[in-house]
Amino acid sequence: MKLSVPGRTTAAAVIAVAGLLTTSAISSAAPSPTAAAPDISVANVQAHLSEFQSIAASNGGNRAHGSPGYKASVDYVKGKLDEAGFTTSVQEFTSNGKTGYNLIADWPGGDADQVVMAGSHLDSVDSGPGINDNGSGSAAILETALTVAREQYKPAKHLRFAWWGAEELGLVGSSHYVDELPADERSKIKDYLNFDMIGSPNPGYFVYDDDPTIEKTFKDFYGGLDLTTEPDEEGDGRSDHAPFKNAGIPVGGLFSGADYEKTAEQAQKWGGTAGEPFDKCYHSACDTESNVDGTALDNNSDAVAHAVWGLSA
Ligand code: TRP
Ligand code: CA
Ligand code: ZN
């Protein structure tokens, strides 16, 4: 059942009308398109990070492009998604003479002509297990996807999730995906959301400022947590949203900081340590499970869900 109020389409209007219905009418209704996003379990996100950590440990200490640790990461994420009812596909490409993989997962249903997409790079650098960079984004979108399935969310738009290969070699996987996508398929992607490093140990709250609607969606969420964000100016062109943006697709995303130092002003509003990097283990062997701030990971994972739900309703 779809509630429709001529001339009044705000969430408040829909809620006001829903309040007049009997309990049985509400319970038999399809989930409202304005339903709030569920809370994402940070414990579940952290369990995915533990899995990435063990995968690295049993594969020479990293999950880099062309390594067995990367392939094992793809297999882990794909297994969870297949079990949950996603339609998954693995796209192969070659970079540096080695086979790379993008994992794409579609949630069946929604308007196929309007796609909302969320992506994260799944590869690490050679020097470590890559838990904040970018186990964090990979785990958050995985748990968001699994929550979509658990809730049997029926968005108006079609949902697609992606885990990119070889980002660390220069956005190779995501560029390959966009290059290979036919023009009519590209034009169906209404939003691309990117999550690359969202659990930095000395965290900042940076929101990409590329598309105003997506940016507002995130900022509204943080406003509700009394968190002040900053636009992510340094991230421009530095992650997998760049090929989408270059193809004319609206992009947005989150970032909790890498090797730049937190200023005194930023420490005032976000806590943590001024004069130290947001992530002192950026691209290092110490980017392990202990290199993740649980509160930032929790807030940012919930923000992922807020945007995925809000933009696809
Ligand atoms: N893409 C970078 C990486 O994977 C991380 C990153 C995103 C970044 N935005 C940034 C690093 C801005 C420095 C500044 O390594
Ligand atoms: Ca949460
Ligand atoms: Zn990186």
Distance 33 CA to ligand 2 centre (A): 21
Q: Which tokens belong to 242?
A: 């760049």
pLDDT score for 35: 65
305 lines ligand 1 (CB under 6 A): no
Beta-bridge partners for 194: 119, 253
Residue numbers in the chain where pLDDT is lower than 70: 1-35, 235
| In the block, residue with structure tokens 């705000």 | 10
| In the block, residue with structure tokens 């507002």 | 216
Distance 299 CA to ligand 2 centre (A): 6
From 121, 193, 234, 287, give the residue whose CB has the most ligand 1 atoms within 8 Å, as the site to mutate: 234
Please identify every residue annotated as catalytic: 167
Could you identify the atom of ligand 1 that is nearest to the CA of residue 168?
A: 4
- Of 287, 305, 241, which Cα lies nearest the Cα of 135? 287
CA-to-CA distance for 57 and 208, rounded, in angstroms? 33
Distance 259 CA to ligand 3 centre (A): 10
240 lines ligand 1 (CB under 6 A): no
Each residue of 247-282: pLDDT tens digit? 999 999 999 999 999 999 999 999 999 999 999 999
| In the block, residue with structure tokens 């398929």 | 185
Distance 17 CA to ligand 1 centre (A): 45
3-state secondary structure 69-127: HHHHHHHHHHHHHHHHCCEEEEEEEEECCEEEEEEEEEECCCEEEEEEEEEEECCECCC
CA-to-CA distance for 148 and 189, rounded, in angstroms? 19
Q: Which residues contact 223 (CB under 8 A, 6 or more apart)?
A: none
Q: Which residue, by CA, sits nearest to atom 10 of ligand 1?
A: 235
| Ligand number nearest to the C-alpha of 120 | 1
234 lines ligand 1 (CB under 6 A): yes
279 lines ligand 1 (CB under 6 A): no
Report the interhelical angle of 212-224 vs 294-312 (nearest 10°): 130
Q: Which residue, by CA, sits nearest to atom 12 of ligand 1?
A: 235
CA-to-CA distance for 201 and 284, rounded, in angstroms? 14
From 65, 196, 209, 291, give the residue whose CB has the most ligand 1 atoms within 8 Å, as the site to mutate: 196
Cα angle value 117/122/123 (rounded, 5°): 140
Distance 134 CA to ligand 3 centre (A): 7
Q: Summarize the chain as % helix, strand, coil (round to 5).
A: 40, 20, 40
Residue ranges with strand state E in 127-229: 157-164, 189-195, 206-207
Q: Which residues contact 180 (CB under 8 A, 6 or more apart)?
A: 91
195 lines ligand 1 (CB under 6 A): no
Q: Which residue, by CA, sits nearest to atom 7 of ligand 1?
A: 235
Could you identify the atom of ligand 1 that is nearest to the CA of residue 283?
A: 15
| Alpha-carbon 201 to chain mean position | 18
Structural domains of the chain, with CATH: 33-312 (3.40.630.10)
For 44, other C-beta atoms within 10 Å of its C-beta total 15
What phi, psi does 42 have (nearest 5°)? -65, -25
pLDDT score for 31: 45
Distance 264 CA to ligand 3 centre (A): 25
238 lines ligand 1 (CB under 6 A): yes
CB 302 within 8 A of CB 37: yes
What is the DSSP pairing of strand 206-207 with strand 189-195?
A: unpaired
